[in-house]
Structure 1
Amino acid sequence: MLSRHQRSWGIEQWAAYLKDRELPVLLVTKKIFQSLKSQGKNAPEFAPRELVELVHDDPYLAVKLLLEAERRRSRHLGRETTTQLATILQLGSDELYSMIADSPVVNIAHPGGKAAVATAILASHIARTWSGLRSDASPDEISLATLLSETGELLLWHFAPELPTAAIEEFESGRANRTGLAQLNTAGFTFRQLTLILADAWQLPQMISQLIRGVDRPRTHIAQIAIDCARHLTQNPDNPALPSDIGNIAQYIPGVAKEKLIAVLPISDEQKARLLAHLQEQEKPAQA
């Protein structure tokens, strides 16, 4: 419940408040590691890459690990941490177990909050696969940046759910025709703006910050289109915007068949076939 004082806060006050909160983890993350402990499987039994597969589906944990890894890195003046694997290597698997065990748990009841978490996770998966098809130097960097791109909104769902809930109600009422406008109307700022301010306040690694901001344009387009595509899929697996998403990503991954771009999407084979047929139909006039 927001206090009367918090209801009047602007973006800078919210950023200052969120910057120093103890970050949570998803319940499923905590359960996975509790289960491993109960089975007597201690951290040293897992290689760092195996641990990555266990934690890369939690955007809250991704921020938590990155901030702690960077805090420790600064003591030794090492290389910036830009991937999930690097955060685990920086901290060590024992510290990972302890951090998860001691973390509070995300408790989001609103469907909009659950959709926001699902979208971030799905977008990260899509971005990693697409950037791999582009033979990117580090698909994991793009994957992590994509996972963190909506951090502002995700933190609000945990610490101040009244704000994103009000924005959803504003959008659904028809008073705002865009999500960003609905957020401006209700909170006074967009949640994307909050993410960018937090990235500065936390002093995120330069490469991750650049990807979130859109500085590294070819790679950033992959991340942003992956976010758009994941959002469309979360709303509706047959979303009519999907052909545009595939058409857009094809511009940044030339020479890759549309079938490969579509293959990463978590939809049925029948839906993939319909999507491919739609794209091929669109291309016919251009080939004529």
Structure 2
Amino acid sequence: MTTLPSGIAPWTEFLSAKEVPVLRQTAHAIAQARERADRINIREIADIVLHDPLMTVRLLRFSARNRGRRQLQDISTVEHAVMMLGVEPFFHHFSQFDIAEERLAQHPKALLGLLHVIRRAQRAARYASDWAMWRCDLNSEEVAVAALLHDLAEMLLWCFAPQRAMEIAELRKAHPAMRSADAQESVLRFSLNGLQESLCRTWELPELLLNLMDDAHSERPRVKNVKLAVDLARHSSQGWDDPALPDDFRAIARLMNIDEETLKLRLGLKSAGEVAASQAPPSPPG
């Protein structure tokens, strides 16, 4: 049995020595795309990568490690990373994968935990991208990637320390009012936010993405965009009756400068007819 490290620095070293797995679906999609490498475009490859936060961080980490001396600007989007690498080199460097479902085959509950976090991240990225485009953000993909990777450390914990991840999940289930950070501190003696920052800096991920994932700066509109997308995905992950959702709706509506009814229409929670009826002036007395 592997002895797990203690403290953020040893955990950073431990995780940095691991090959980040990808979803089976991602490996299959990349293999299929390779068969038409002479006809595929960069956007299609980026779409495959962006569906999987684990593959996304693999590509960004690879890009950071192999950045040319003359490249002064960080690569903060997947499309830019694929473009700088090139189609053929992409398929050359990303041809063999450790598969997440196979890694956790002996830990079915941990696999469910990982897939739950990934699905949540995918939804957060979609929300973040939609709202960024609505706000005319000059690079909505940066915001989407930050939302997709916001809970990266939690995903890696499920992959490489499933028992620890299960302990945190069970502690939160037993104490629903407990904050996630407190549960993490209780089991790991540190928060996953601290581990994530350490990993991002060690892996030399773009400073911009690190800043966008930093909830401490949520007064900044782009950071708030990311945080609210992550919050909404988290609070709605078990349905739309979480008591935190009304506060989320109010904050998102303010960010987008729309009313809450229009927001719910964009989220698919209300039909256009329902929104129109709620906004119509009252009928005069007969």
Structure-2-length-normalised TM-score: 0.84
Structure 2 CA distance for partners of 1:33 and 1:203, relative to 1, 3 Å: closer
Matched, 1:105 2:125: no
Give per-residue Cα distances to partners, 1:175-199, cap 9 Å, x unaligned.
Answer: 8622221111111112122111111
Give how far 1:244 is off: 2.0
Question: Could you say what the CA RMSD is over the residues aligned between the two structures, in angstroms?
Answer: 2.4
Aligned to 2:123: 122
Give how far 1:104 is off: 0.8
Aligned to 1:81: 75
Aligned to 2:236: 233
Give per-residue Cα distances to partners, 1:213-241, cap 9 Å, x unaligned.
Answer: 24472110110110010112212144343
What fraction of aligned residue pairs are identical, expressed as a percent? 28
Runs of 5+ in structure 1 lacking a partner? 282-288
Count of residues paired in the alignment? 267
AA aligned opposite 1:20: A
SS in 1 for 2:138: coil
Structure 2 CA distance for partners of 1:36 and 1:51, relative to 1, 3 Å: closer
Aligned to 1:272: 270
Aligned to 2:264: 262
Question: How far apart, CA to CA, are the structure 1 residues paired with 2:177 and 2:235?
Answer: 19
Question: How far apart, CA to CA, are the structure 1 residues paired with 2:79 and 2:262?
Answer: 26
Give per-residue Cα distances to partners, 1:15-36, cap 9 Å, x unaligned.
Answer: 1111232221111101112334
Question: How far apart, CA to CA, are the structure 2 residues paired with 1:45 and 1:237?
Answer: 42
**1:144-223 alignment, distance < 5 Å:** 144-174=145-175, 177-214=178-215, 215=217, 217-223=220-226
Structure-1-length-normalised TM-score: 0.84
SS in 1 for 2:67: helix
When you count helix as a share of all residues, which structure comes out higher?
Answer: 1
Contact residue 126 and residue 226 of structure 1 kept, 8 A: yes
Aligned to 2:284: none
AA aligned opposite 2:166: T
SS in 2 for 1:262: helix
Aligned to 1:21: 18
Question: How far apart, CA to CA, are the structure 2 residues paired with 1:167 and 1:159?
Answer: 14
AA aligned opposite 1:212: M
Give per-residue Cα distances to partners, 1:86-140, cap 9 Å, x unaligned.
Answer: 1111222223323442121113432322211111111011100011111111111
Structure 2 CA distance for partners of 1:208 and 1:102, relative to 1, 3 Å: same
1:63 to 57, 74, 80: 57
Matched, 1:31 2:34: no
Give how far 1:50 is off: 1.8
